[in-house]
């Protein structure tokens, strides 16, 4: 352990990504991701048969092709932007606090995992941690899964760190302002659409009925962004994407909404996804490619995807402010 210990460290957490855009790598990633009870809470014996007998035999090839269409020279988009956020956040905290604050990156599924990130923080002498999941809205399937995975990683640790959690920031003024700036900057460069669709990753309706606050927080984010942009009620909509399986998910569905708007000849549609801190497969392929095709094929004339906040300066400033707010008393 170093003799001069930092006042605290930051554990920045995102969902995860396959190591490569190949069926084998995707199969390994999906096996870990889809086995998590937080993600799929079906009875284990039945789900094991479905997962291993059907899904992991058929889905990896299709998903790998989708990853190949968005893969970068330096890896997946999610990993690229997560690493950029990690580096930029450390610089921002150094400038604000006048001391070096270690920032480690972990993924809930895949690598770098919690144990690797924890070892990095321990090596830096960290004994207090701000845990910052990159999920603005809380869900048991995302932030809850981060909690479970971190707890599992700490089971064999003889000395537990003191931790402060950023559980949500769906209505933080700097978050809404950063989203608004992103939309305004896009409009200034590309013109403005007739409607703005705010698409969030969905969860089963049953999860919401059981108490998951995620859909409510998504709707609150969407309403706050609409107010920030001065939109009338008929100029925007909150929808949910990426449903999986046969049960009903929270509505309205993004793809069905876009098909309906295309058939109604709405005109130009702008789409943004405020649930994602980093562009990834669900935004760059599902929203920008699949849903674009759905809208245009149904009769739509113009479709624009507005990128995630990624490593924009005002996004990094928001993350640094969240760290400051949750580390009070440690400096």
Q: Return binding residues for Fe(2+).
A: 201, 282
Q: How far is CA 145 from CA 140, 174, 178, 280, 292, in A?
A: 6, 25, 26, 19, 31
Which token pair is 5? 């210990």
Q: Binding site, residues? A: 201, 282
* φ/ψ (deg, to 5) at 65: -65, -40
Cβ neighbours of residue 147 closer than 8 Å, sequence gap 6 or more: 165
Instruction: Tally DSSP H helices, then E strands, for the chain.
Output: 13, 8
Q: Residue 111 half-sphere exposure, CB side, CA atoms within 13 Å?
A: 6
Residues 146, 5: Cα–Cα separation, whole Å: 26
Cβ neighbours of residue 5 closer than 8 Å, sequence gap 6 or more: 125, 126, 127
Which token pair is 317? 């400033």
Q: How many CB atoms lie within 10 A of CB 20?
A: 17
Which token pair is 265? 């000849």
Would you give the DSSP letter of residue 253?
B
Contact 312, 186 (CB under 8 A): no
Helix or strand run (H / E) with residue 198: strand 195-201
Question: Across the beta sheet with 236-241, what order do the strands follow?
Answer: 236-241, 195-201, 268-272, 302-305
Q: How far is CA 46 from CA 57, 302, 326, in A?
A: 16, 44, 41
């Amino acid at each position: 352990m170093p003799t001069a210990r930092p006042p605290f460290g930051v554990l920045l957490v995102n969902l995860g990504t396959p190591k490569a855009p190949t069926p084998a790598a995707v199969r390994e990633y999906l096996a870990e991701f889809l086995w998590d009870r937080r993600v799929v809470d079906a009875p284990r014996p039945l789900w094991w048969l479905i997962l291993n007998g059907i899904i992991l035999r058929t889905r990896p090839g299709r998903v790998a092709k989708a990853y190949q269409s968005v893969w970068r020279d330096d890896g997946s988009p999610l990993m690229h932007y997560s690493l950029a956020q990690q580096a930029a956040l450390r610089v921002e905290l150094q400038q604000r606090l006048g001391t070096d604050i270690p920032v480690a990156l972990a993924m809930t599924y895949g690598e770098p995992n919690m144990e690797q990130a924890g070892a990095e923080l321990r090596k830096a002498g960290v004994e207090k941690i701000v845990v910052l999941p990159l999920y603005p809205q809380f869900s048991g399937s995302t932030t809850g899964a981060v909690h479970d995975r971190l707890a599992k990683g700490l089971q064999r640790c003889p000395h537990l760190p003191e931790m402060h959690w950023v559980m949500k920031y769906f209505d933080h003024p700097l978050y809404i302002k950063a989203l608004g700036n992103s939309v305004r900057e896009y409009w200034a460069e590309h013109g403005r659409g007739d409607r703005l669709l705010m698409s969030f990753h969905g969860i089963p309706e049953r999860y919401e009925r059981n108490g998951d606050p995620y859909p409510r927080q998504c709707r609150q984010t969407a309403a706050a962004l609409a107010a920030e942009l001065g939109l009338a009620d008929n100029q925007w909509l909150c929808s949910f994407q990426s449903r999986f399986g046969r049960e009903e998910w929270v509505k309205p569905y993004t793809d069905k909404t876009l098909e309906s708007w295309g058939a109604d000849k709405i005109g130009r549609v702008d789409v943004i996804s405020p649930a994602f801190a980093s562009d990834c497969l669900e935004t760059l392929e599902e929203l920008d490619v699949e849903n674009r095709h759905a809208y245009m094929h149904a009769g739509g004339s113009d479709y624009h995807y507005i990128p995630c906040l990624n490593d924009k300066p005002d996004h990094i400033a928001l993350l640094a402010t969240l760290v400051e707010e949750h580390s009070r008393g440690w400096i």
